[in-house]
Amino acid sequence: MFGIKTKLTTKVQKTLFKIFKLKLSNDFTARSLMKIFRVDLYGHRASIKNSDVGYGWIHYGFIRQLKPSKILCIGSRYGYIPAILAQACKDNGKGVVDFVDPGYGPENENHWTGESFWKLERGKLIFHDFGLGSFIKLHLMTSEEFADKHQKDYDYIYIDGDHSYKGASTDYKLFWNRLNKNGFFVFHDINVKGSKPEGVYGVEKLWREIGKKNAITFPFEGSGLGMLQKI
């Protein structure tokens, strides 16, 4: 396993190039996944027309390369990244994603653009309907409740839940110690700043504090993606 530094080594660059050359099962699968799980085109820089899953390539590529058994995903509006992670596990023939989301909608002040989707029967069945049911498990609860109930360690952790500074910091503190050595801890929305209708974003502030070593900040337009490796 390679260690990622702030300045990418030649070995890391070659590995990332190999990752980005990987494809999902086929273009039809990619387009279907983006449509069914309602990809946020800005937030993930994806293109349904071009079968380009955007940020999803990063997650898919890392899971296909690492072939982890245990993956954790905190938060998703309609399941796009959880589905990408599960699809990579399916294509690997191994691995399970623990997907944690309380199913908050506009009725809850902590919804962070959530639509209560995971409380609906459609939300509860959508991964099974797409053929991913064996590779992902929905946990309808907060990240704090999940951390208290499930004492698991992971190889890949993706954080996209409560985007306040307090919320993102809490998820980092809850799960960093649950990350195995050489595993990856990934934050979405590290470029988003300021107050939005759903609240004041704080992931960017947290990333500035912790993303100083063993980190990649992908220089993407849009909401941004940052990864830490535990080495």
pLDDT of 21 reads 53
Does the pLDDT value for residue 7 go beyond 80? Answer: no
Check if the beta carbon of residue 171 is closer than 8 Å to that of residue 86.
Answer: no
Binned at pLDDT 50, 70 and 90, residue 12 comes out as: low
- Higher per-residue confidence, 185 vs 42: 185
What's the CATH superfamily of 10-229? Vaccinia Virus protein VP39 (3.40.50.150)
Please name the residues in contact with 130: beta carbons below 8 A apart, sequence gap of 6 or more: 32, 33, 36, 37, 83
**What are the Cα distances from residue 76, in Å, to 21, 25, 66, 229?**
26, 22, 23, 22
CA distance 56 to 134: 20
- Phi-psi group of 148: left, alpha or beta (phi > 0 → left; psi -120 to 50 → alpha; rest → beta): alpha
Identity of the highest mean pLDDT range in 42-51, 94-103, 222-231: 94-103
* Range 110-117 average pLDDT: 93
Position 1 scores a pLDDT of 30
Q: Model pTM? A: 0.90
Query: What would the two tokens of residue 78 be?
Result: 């309609």
Q: Where are the domains of the chain?
A: 10-229
